[in-house]
């Protein structure tokens, strides 16, 4: 489960209750940004309608995930073959594309919608390149929907500008006349301006503009690993990126640049992917759409086709074995079930861990108040416990929380110097602490034993293999101590 899903759905639940999208934060008890501009509100609406209003629950979420993934895969295949790629070349190219882009498909998140819209966008600009007048008219309503689903709509705006730049450059390369080249893209420039104006077509109006500017210029790398450069994430990912770019450069030595439509788009997405791992799946989709056709009718492409023809049965058997192995792996991992990790051991896999046990404890004992939480758990707590419980933080980083607030929370849970001041600064009544964190060790040492409760300002009332829960001692008297270490912690959705 993606942690953002919970605050997206919590927002829509409250919007249904209030009758409007709140423009001030309602989930936190610490100072937040005003106005709150939630760029994924449309995704939250879809997920809430699907899982709650229609009653499809977790199965509905799983079905949506696989439908979106299938659309992206089929879209890449159809686009590449329309560009002239054969089955053999696409099949080999797809292996590298999947290796690069898998991170975007690991869970259901708003970026899946961006990948879908990216493919539709690529179809439209290719239609425009072939002088289909309707294509950019179709783009405008598409953009309006994309805009309200995910901040990734900027990919569409940016790549439309890149496409116009590519068409201008290629025309200038052919005619060597600046004004004629500019006239050739005049119509597209008007559509780009219309696209920019349509950005106001959202529930937040003009407030969306300064928000999105701040979101684009904000440095998230100290706080969110997926925004870091490839070389800081994984040398494997960087090697795949280099290999993919090497294939494009090889094709450029074998073809005229005018035969490589979309090469500017590949260049732009490759650049952003290099600097932000989060964008690697966007690059992978663009690369899989265009590169197979580049490679076709090159010496390497001819070699791939020859090997395919001469060893068709062997290669078919290999691909079948890969498919069967993938199916067994998916079945082993119960691909039909939503997974909500709840233990520190599961957290070692690099996935968010959710405090399902602590949340159930608070709900069962009718706790109402302010709960200090780490970044990755706040949205889940709000989804399960709001309005009874308000949180100190959740994953709405630039949406609701300024950078100092996020940094303060990180220092607090790392038990760095001055961490106690954070407790004194806000009206905190309970603390949710990940097991194994520095703060967990410090609190355990200060406690000196879970039964010595009365003399301490904070009392441990709950333990499991993922989290510990402390209450202010004056409030803890009516909360029995519960130890669920070693027990399975079930988590349900929605």
Cα 100 to Cα 233: distance, rounded to the nearest angstrom: 13
For the beta carbon of residue 105, count every other beta carbon within 10 angstroms.
20
**Distance from C-alpha of 376 to C-alpha of 396, rounded to nearest angstrom:** 10
Are the C-beta atoms of 430 and 472 separated by less than 8 Å? yes
Closest C-alpha among 242, 252, 241, 264 to residue 294: 252
How many other C-beta atoms can be found within 10 angstroms of the C-beta atom of residue 281? 25
Per-residue pLDDT, 447: 60
Q: Mean of the per-residue pLDDT values for the chain? A: 93
Task: Quickly tell me which residue has 């990126």 as its tokens.
Answer: 241
User: Residue 154 and residue 135: Cα distance in Å, rounded?
Assistant: 19
Instruction: Report the relative pairing of strands 458-463 and 467-472 from DSSP bridges.
Output: antiparallel
Q: In whole angstroms, how far apart are CA 266 and each of 141, 248, 402?
A: 25, 9, 34
Going from the C-alpha of 193 to that of each of 198, 245, 353, the distances in angstroms are 9, 31, 44
Give pLDDT, residue 452. 42
Residue 431 token pair = 């603390």
The pLDDT, as a whole number, for residue 339 is 87
Decide if 123 contacts 139 (C-beta within 8 A).
no
Structure tokens at 288: 């899989």
What is the model's pLDDT at position 257?
84
The pLDDT tens digits of the residues spanning 261-312 come to 999 999 999 999 999 999 999 999 999 999 999 999 899 999 999 999 999 8
Would you give per-residue pLDDT tens digits along the chain (494 residues)? 889 999 999 999 999 999 999 999 999 999 999 999 999 999 999 999 999 999 999 999 999 999 999 999 999 999 999 999 999 999 999 999 999 998 888 788 899 999 999 999 999 999 999 999 999 999 999 999 999 999 999 999 999 999 999 999 999 988 889 999 999 999 999 999 999 999 999 999 999 999 999 999 999 888 888 999 999 998 999 999 999 999 999 999 998 888 899 999 999 999 999 999 999 999 999 999 999 999 998 999 999 999 999 998 999 899 899 989 989 988 988 888 888 998 888 887 778 899 999 999 999 999 999 999 999 999 999 999 999 999 999 999 889 999 999 999 999 999 998 888 898 899 999 999 999 999 999 998 876 333 444 445 899 999 999 999 999 988 998 999 999 999 999 998 98
Maximum Cα interatomic distance, the chain, rounded to a whole number of Å: 85
* Rounded Cα gap, residues 245 and 265, in angstroms: 12
Q: Is the separation of the CB atoms in 138 and 124 below 8 Å?
A: yes
Nearest by Cα to 278 from 229, 347, 239: 229
Residue 433 has what DSSP assignment? E
What 3-state DSSP class applies to 107?
coil
C-alpha 108 chain-centroid distance: 8
The H or E element containing residue 471 is strand 467-472
203-238 pLDDT, tens digit each: 999 999 999 999 999 998 888 889 999 999 989 999
């Amino acid at each position: 489960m993606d942690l953002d899903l919970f605050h997206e759905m919590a927002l829509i639940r409250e919007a249904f209750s209030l009758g409007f999208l709140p423009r001030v934060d309602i989930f936190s008890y610490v100072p937040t940004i005003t106005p709150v501009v939630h760029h994924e509100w449309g995704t939250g609406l879809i997920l809430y309608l699907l899982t709650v209003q229609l009653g499809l629950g977790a199965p509905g979420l799983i079905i949506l995930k696989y439908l979106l993934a299938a659309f992206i895969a089929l879209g890449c295949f159809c686009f590449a073959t329309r560009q002239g790629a054969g089955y053999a070349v696409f099949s080999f190219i797809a292996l590298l594309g999947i290796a690069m882009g898998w991170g975007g498909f690991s869970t259901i998140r708003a970026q899946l919608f961006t990948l879908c819209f990216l493919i539709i966008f690529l179809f439209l600009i290719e239609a425009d390149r072939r002088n289909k007048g309707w294509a950019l008219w179709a783009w405008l309503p598409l953009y309006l929907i994309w805009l309200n689903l995910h901040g990734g709509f900027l990919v569409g705006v940016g790549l439309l500008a890149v496409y116009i730049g590519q068409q201008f450059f290629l025309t200038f390369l052919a005619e060597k006349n600046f004004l004629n080249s500019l006239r050739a893209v005049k119509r597209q420039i008007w559509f780009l301006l219309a696209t920019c104006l349509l950005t106001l077509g959202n529930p937040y109006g003009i407030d969306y503009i300064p928000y999105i500017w701040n979101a684009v210029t904000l440095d998230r790398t100290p706080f969110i690993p997926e925004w870091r450069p490839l070389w800081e994430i994984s040398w494997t990912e960087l090697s795949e990126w280099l290999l993919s770019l090497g294939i494009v450069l090889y094709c450029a030595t074998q073809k005229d640049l005018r035969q490589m439509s979309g090469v500017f788009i590949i260049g732009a997405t490759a650049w952003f992917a290099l600097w932000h791992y989060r964008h690697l799946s966007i690059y992978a989709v663009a690369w899989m759409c265009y590169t197979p056709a580049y490679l076709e009718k090159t010496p390497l492409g001819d070699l791939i086709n020859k090997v395919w023809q001469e060893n068709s049965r062997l290669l078919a058997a290999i691909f079948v074995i890969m498919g069967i192995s993938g199916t067994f792996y998916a079945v082993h991992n119960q691909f039909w079930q939503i997974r909500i990790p709840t233990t520190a051991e599961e957290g070692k896999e690099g996935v968010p861990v959710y405090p399902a046990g602590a949340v159930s404890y608070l709900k069962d004992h009718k706790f109402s108040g302010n709960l200090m939480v780490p970044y990755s758990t706040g949205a889940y707590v709000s989804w399960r416990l709001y309005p009874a419980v308000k949180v100190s933080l959740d994953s709405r980083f630039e949406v609701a929380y300024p950078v100092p607030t996020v940094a303060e929370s990180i220092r607090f849970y790392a038990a760095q110097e001055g961490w106690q001041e954070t407790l004194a600064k806000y009206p905190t009544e309970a603390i949710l602490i990940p097991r194994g964190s520095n703060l967990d060790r410090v609190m355990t040492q200060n406690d000196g034993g879970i039964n010595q409760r009365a003399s301490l300002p904070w009392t441990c009332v709950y333990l499991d293999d993922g989290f510990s829960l402390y209450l202010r001692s004056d409030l803890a008297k009516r909360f029995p101590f519960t130890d669920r270490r070693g027990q399975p912690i079930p988590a349900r959705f929605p």
